[in-house]
């Protein structure tokens, strides 16, 4: 059974920033003090004693009421999915344990919310308190989870044995298994849209996909995925493949497949990714297709890279675009959502000192960070099912991809952190020099389709919307924004045939995100059809589909998906 928190449970927050300093603050949080405060660097952190007293009083009343329910043989209500199974309700002691935990959680959250501090520090306090709360759920522990007890009895102990075996296997892998990884193989049942690699260098392979229609749009489409993940998120299985959908619509599709960095790429920079990666891919797509203008696409960090590259190209007098598509991409880094909790001068300087001159940001470390942004879904859920209940995770292509992590070149990563996340220079015309050019996103001259996901915790949709003010500043009517339901990945990978979720459209020339949403129209189903109409408008006339991959200079090297995507971190 959970022990109720003391009336001053702020001691649980001592893992934030300077533990000794916070201990002093929490010791001061006693009746009789006029205020409790501490200094963290130049910042002052305070708790209002009046607010603390009110929270304490509310907590005591609610806990007393909960205890009275237990004494009167009532079972408390549990409005939380983690305690939705019948086992939690069938035993009043287990129900009380869960109810006490939820009460304690609300109190801790309220205390964190009551802290008076600069926004960055307060955000970190709230984040760390939430991490502690999520980790301490009674659902995460063998002794306090009745679902686990029932499973052991039903299986005569077999679930316990399987759980231990799952735990040992994951310890060897160094990560939690979220999917049955034996069910998938890249090139066999993932990333199987037919195509060929027509170019490769030390940074990427360029894949050209075979047309699946007799005629194709004249202007090809180049896809630039994020370099912190593998491209096949855009080509999972046939029923949810963005690539297959595009070629079936009559587009000639080229894909950048980033190499998974190893020691030979330890000194690779952001400029290298722009010049030898994206700009090279644009030129190759032009040469192979024979078209001066192409449609370009960037997803997540791929959107930041393609926008950086295009700003360089337009600064050089090149005009390669028929249209641009950006999906859940950041160009304005003012609001980076929950990731902002990790970014400050000290953190960035540490990365520059350790990785800025050479090295690799390990993929497993990056994967762990992203998992703990949603710990109940991506960590503790699997602790409960895999280890405590001994259940093997089912096959799930998206989670298989999520676990197939990639490294990042240290200098590129450190530069990206400072200039984008910390100093937010990309949005300022001329503030950044990339590949020898002062970049100005406003020079990119093309109709632009911008997509954001409403529940995205990595790229808040309002931040994706902020690109509307940076691109085509003199011709804002050339920009179109679409908002989809769900999150960073699930909102994007939403094929029309599934008829799932919804999306919002608004063609009014509005530059404020909240006003845009207030006057938008919600439509059922996928946003892909909106995007298809945009691409068709800017892809040129229909011509006979090409009958071969590449051209005389660039010939097929190997079938898609190629070697690079199969390399493990």
**Phi, psi angles (nearest 5°) of residue 324:** -130, 135
CB 295 within 8 A of CB 538: yes
At residue 365, the pLDDT reads: 87
With a CB cutoff of 8 Å and minimum separation 6, the contacts of 21 are 38, 39, 40
- Give which of 553, 559, 557 is closest to 210, Cα–Cα: 559
146-155 and 158-173 helices cross at what angle (nearest 10)?
110
Residues 155, 162: Cα–Cα separation, whole Å? 10
| pLDDT (mean) for 339-365 | 93
280-289 and 301-315 helices cross at what angle (nearest 10)?
80
221-254 confidence digits (pLDDT tens): 999 999 999 999 999 999 999 999 999 999 999 9
- Give which of 218, 292, 284, 279 is closest to 254, Cα–Cα: 284
**Phi, psi angles (nearest 5°) of residue 404:** -85, 75
- pLDDT, the chain, mean: 91
Residues 444, 284, 534, CA angle at the centre, nearest 5°? 45
| Lookup result for tokens 């892909």 | 528
The percent helix, strand, coil of the chain (3-state, each to 5) is 50, 15, 40
At residue 34, the pLDDT reads: 45
At residue 36, the pLDDT reads: 57
The domain segmentation of the chain, as residue ranges, is 9-139, 195-362+407-566
Sign of CA dihedral 224, 229, 234, 238: positive
Q: Note if the pTM is more than 0.85.
A: yes
At residue 195, the pLDDT reads: 98
SS3 122: helix
At residue 48, the pLDDT reads: 87
Burial 314-339 (b: 16+ CB within 10 A, else e): bbeeeebbbbbbbbbbbbbbeebbbb
315, pLDDT greater than 50:
yes
At residue 522, the pLDDT reads: 98
At residue 39, the pLDDT reads: 61
Give the CATH superfamily of 195-362+407-566. Alpha/Beta hydrolase fold, catalytic domain (3.40.50.1820)
CB 299 within 8 A of CB 255: no
Could you write out the DSSP letters of every residue in 65-100?
A: HHHHHHHTTPPPP--SGGG-SHHHHHSHHHHHHHHH
- Give which of 113, 114, 86 is closest to 98, Cα–Cα: 86
SS3 210: coil
Which two three-digit tokens encode residue 424?
């937010």
CB 322 within 8 A of CB 219: yes
| Lookup result for tokens 């079938």 | 559
Q: Which residue has the higher pLDDT, 43 or 469?
A: 469
The burial of 353, by beta-carbon neighbours within 10 Å (0-12 exposed, 13-18 middle, 19 or more buried), is given as: exposed
22, pLDDT greater than 70:
no
| pLDDT (mean) for 63-82 | 90
**Phi, psi angles (nearest 5°) of residue 233:** -60, -25
pLDDT over 90 percentage in the chain:
82
CB 17 within 8 A of CB 121: yes
SS3 248: helix
Where is 193: in which H helix or E strand? none
CB 565 within 8 A of CB 257: yes
Residues 299, 306: Cα–Cα separation, whole Å? 9
44, pLDDT greater than 90:
no
21, pLDDT greater than 80:
no
Q: Which alpha helices (DSSP H) does 117-209 contain, by range?
A: 119-135, 146-155, 158-173
Distances (CA, A) of 204 to 46, 61, 244, 562: 51, 62, 21, 10
Burial 442-463 (b: 16+ CB within 10 A, else e): bbbbbbbbbbbbbebebbbbbb
Residues 144, 142: Cα–Cα separation, whole Å? 6
- Give which of 288, 275, 308, 281 is closest to 443, Cα–Cα: 308
Look at strands 253-258 and 204-209 and give their pairing.
Answer: antiparallel
10, pLDDT greater than 90:
no
- Give which of 121, 105, 123, 114 is closest to 47, Cα–Cα: 114
Catalytic positions, written as ranges: 300
| Lookup result for tokens 């007098």 | 317
At residue 333, the pLDDT reads: 97
Number of neighbouring beta carbons within 10 Å of residue 241:
22
Residues 125, 14: Cα–Cα separation, whole Å? 9
Residues 472, 443: Cα–Cα separation, whole Å? 8
Residues 444, 324: Cα–Cα separation, whole Å? 9
177-231 confidence digits (pLDDT tens): 999 999 999 999 999 999 999 999 999 999 999 999 999 999 999 999 999 999 9
526, pLDDT greater than 70:
yes
């Amino acid at each position: 059974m959970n022990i109720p928190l003391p009336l001053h449970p702020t001691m649980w927050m001592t893992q934030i920033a300077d533990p000794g300093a916070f201990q002093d603050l929490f010791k001061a949080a006693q009746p009789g003090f006029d205020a409790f405060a501490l200094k963290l660097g130049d910042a002052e952190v305070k708790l209002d004693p009046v607010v603390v007293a009110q929270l304490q009083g509310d907590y005591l009343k609610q806990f007393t009421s909960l205890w009275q329910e237990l004494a009167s043989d009532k079972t408390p209500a549990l409005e939380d999915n983690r305690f939705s199974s019948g086992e939690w309700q069938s035993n009043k002691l287990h129900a009380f344990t869960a109810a006490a935990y939820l009460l304690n959680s609300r109190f801790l959250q309220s205390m964190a919310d009551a802290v008076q501090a600069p926004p960055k520090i307060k955000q970190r306090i709230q984040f760390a308190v939430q991490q502690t709360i999520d980790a301490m759920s009674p659902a995460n522990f063998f002794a306090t989870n009745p679902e686990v007890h029932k499973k052991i009895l039903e299986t005569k102990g077999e679930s316990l044995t399987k759980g231990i075996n799952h735990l040992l296997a994951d310890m060897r892998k160094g990560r939690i298994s979220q999917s049955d990884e034996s069910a998938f193989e890249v090139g066999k049942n993932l990333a199987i849209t037919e195509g060929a690699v027509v170019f490769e260098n030390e940074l990427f392979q360029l894949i050209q996909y075979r047309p699946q229609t007799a005629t194709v749009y004249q202007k090809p489409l180049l896809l630039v995925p994020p370099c912190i993940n593998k491209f096949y998120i855009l080509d999972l299985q046939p029923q949810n493949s963005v690539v297959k959908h595009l070629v079936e619509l009559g587009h000639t599709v080229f894909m950048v497949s980033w190499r998974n960095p190893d020691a030979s790429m330890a000194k690779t920079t952001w400029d290298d990714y722009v010049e030898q990666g994206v700009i090279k891919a644009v030129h190759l797509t032009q040469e192979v297709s024979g078209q001066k203008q192409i449609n370009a696409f960037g997803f997540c960090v791929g959107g930041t890279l393609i926008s950086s590259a295009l700003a360089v190209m337009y600064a050089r007098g090149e005009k390669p675009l028929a249209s641009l598509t950006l999906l859940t991409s950041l160009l304005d880094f003012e609001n980076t959502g929950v990731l902002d909790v990790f970014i400050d001068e000290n953190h960035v300087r540490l990365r520059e000192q350790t990785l800025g001159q050479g090295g690799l940001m390990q993929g497993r470390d990056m994967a762990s960070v992203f998992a703990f942004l949603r710990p109940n879904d991506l960590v503790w859920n699997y602790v409960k099912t895999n280890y405590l209940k001994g259940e093997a995770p089912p096959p799930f292509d998206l989670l298989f991809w999520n676990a197939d992590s990639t490294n990042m070149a240290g200098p590129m990563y450190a530069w990206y952190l400072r200039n984008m996340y910390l100093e937010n220079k990309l949005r300022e015309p001329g503030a950044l020099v990339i590949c020898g050019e002062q970049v100005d996103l406003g020079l990119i001259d093309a109709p632009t389709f911008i997509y954001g996901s409403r529940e995205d915790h990595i790229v808040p949709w309002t931040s994706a919307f902020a690109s509307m003010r940076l691109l085509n500043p003199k011709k804002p009517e050339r920009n179109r924004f679409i908002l989809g339901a769900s999150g960073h990945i699930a909102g994007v990978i939403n094929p029309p045939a599934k008829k799932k979720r919804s999306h919002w459209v608004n063609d009014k020339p509005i530059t404020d995100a909240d006003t845009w949403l207030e006057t938008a129209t919600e439509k059922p189903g996928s946003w892909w059809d909106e995007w298809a109409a945009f691409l068709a408008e800017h892809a040129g006339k229909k011509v006979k589909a090409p009958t071969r991959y590449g051209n005389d200079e660039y010939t097929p090297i190997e079938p898609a998906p190629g070697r690079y995507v199969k390399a493990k971190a």
